[in-house]
Structure 1
């Protein structure tokens, strides 16, 4: 799998006969936040057609996501950061990810400039898979019908994405986000196809946890997370080892946290985790984030959290093949 960052790098590849895009591609476009079951079905559509034609499958995504560009801090929380999304697309079998920087220059592209410069000249697209409500270009003037019309003239085809229904409603990133906001982990898992997870690199924190008997691995988050509170988790280290634990995700109000973070305490783990990557799966919600009057009150509550987490784990063991 290859990552192409930005339109400048795409333009360089477009004129290279040794480029993986030399014979064109099958592509889809979107945020792919969460890479949920609906996204996975779209990727299957793209991969199937790409296999038929013997060309690469391409997913085009944006950084920042359009809502983040327009709404700033008021944008909905992400389900996953860029690195985690890239890894999920890799696991789904995508050949190439084109990551376009969403900025003023990009948003000023007209619909026809988008089609000509990116889809045709850049990607050499043979077939495009997008939703029938897909809009693009300056002032969102481009739509599915325009793509069909231009494609008929310029030699590419357009296919509508297949809708995936779970529990009687369409799978979407917004629906997953709303479920996580109300601690609906099991329902969110049905939409994602796996437990909700957060990946990240462990950094040095204030080491307060060590002073109150609860050492934690600290992962800083770029944006406010899609869920907040204290959870029972299953964390996998970068060497494949997995541990049960408890985690707080949010702003740590008792210690005046200014930046969102994920703090994970691994049960029965001894060693250091600084600099390593953790994959944290959320299994069960214990409580909301609370601002305590003192660090001692926080320490007592953390002890109760750990006890409740261990009790829940004893009643809800993972199957052997998930261990």
Structure 2
């Protein structure tokens, strides 16, 4: 899959495509419906299937720390989009200059002149341009004049409820991992490179591999039984996601204790799937209490995987 970073990197060879636009946060089953329509258009017109998304996501740009918790970072989005068969992703830097672009200018200069979009698939609630003045009706009107087929994909429905990133965030916040998985189409996961932490875990007898949560708000918090992919191998463990209140931590962190594992993996990439929530994160008065609780968590996670 080809990644184009920024409007300035769109070249003449990228002219001619079928396109969909959105955040695709989580790349859930609702998104899969939109993307299936895109892939069908790609076959129909014999043109590359192309996804346009934004970094940061628009709500993160405007609302900062008050933005909804992000489900997936860019790397995870790209992995999931590639798995669905998308050929090309255009990642637009969402900054003040882009936010000030008029809706008509966006359609004319980027969609028509730069990309030569033959078919455009967007959600029925898609809004764009300065002050969100652009909508589906504008796209349809301008598309007709440019011979660009514009169509809306109806919201995917499951159990009579709309599949959305908002509902997935709610399920994750409530610890309903099975419900989130049903909407995502896969287990919710966090991935990243292992960093050096405080090394408190090894002093307590439970070494951890740590991943910094580089997002403004995290959608999950607590202790989980996890399945980890590391160097193409599967390892099981127990993870804490939060701010380590017992140690008065302030930075959100994913800490994973891997069962029967003692390798040095600093700097390596780790993919962590949350399988079952064991409990909420809490502050303990003593390290003895914390150590006892971790031992209980380890036993519960091992039982989840049939490892006891």
Coarse TM-score class (shorter-chain normalised): over 0.9
2:127 to 132, 135, 139: 135
Find 1:240's aligned residue among 220, 232, 235. 232
Report SS of the residue matched to 2:4.
strand
Unaligned stretches of 5+ residues in structure 2: none
Following TM superposition, by how much is the alpha carbon of 1:167 offset from its aligned partner in structure 2, in angstroms?
A: 2.0
Residues 220-243 of structure 1: CA distance to partner in whole angstroms, max 9, x if unpaired?
011232110000011111x21101
* Aligned position for 1:320: none
Partner of 2:220: 227
The one-character-per-residue Cα deviations of 1:48-74 (angstroms, maximum 9, x if unpaired) are 111221111111101110110111011
Instruction: Say whether 1:214 aligns with 2:206.
Output: yes
Residue in structure 1 matched with residue 48 of structure 2 by the alignment: 56
Q: What is the Cα deviation at residue 213 of structure 1?
A: 0.7
Deviations 1:118-149 (A, max 9, x none): 11112110010011221111111111111111
1:288 aligns with 2:280: yes
> Aligned partners of 1:231, 1:132: CA distance in 2, in Å?
36
C-alpha contact 2:27 2:81 (8 A) present in aligned 1: yes
Contact kept in structure 1, 2:3 and 2:88, CA below 8 Å: yes
Alpha-carbon distance in structure 2 between the residues aligned to 1:253 and 1:92? 39
Output the CA distance in 2 between the equivalents of 1:261 and 1:81: 15
CA-to-partner distance for each residue in 1:255-283, whole Å, 9 max, x for gaps? 12221111111112231211111111111
Q: 1:71 aligns with which of 44, 54, 63?
A: 63
Compute the TM-score of the two structures, normalised by the length of structure 2: 0.97
TM-score, length of structure 1 as denominator length: 0.92
- Report what 2:173 is aligned to: 181
Distance in 2 (alpha carbons) for counterparts of 1:132 and 1:312: 41
CA distance in 1, matches of 2:84, 2:260: 33
SS of 1:136 mapped into structure 2: coil
Mapped to 1, the partners of 2:270 and 2:134 lie a distance apart of 41
Aligned to 1:43: 35
Q: Does 1:122 align with 2:114?
A: yes
Note the alpha carbon deviations across 1:66-106, whole angstroms, 9 max, x for none: 11011101111111111111111111111111111111100
Q: Please report the RMSD computed on the Cα atoms of aligned residues, expressed in angstroms.
A: 1.3
Structure 1 gaps of 5+ residues are 318-323
Structure 1 residue 300: deviation in Å? 1.6
The runs of at least 4 aligned residues of structure 1 exceeding 6 Å deviation read none
Aligned residue pairs, count: 307
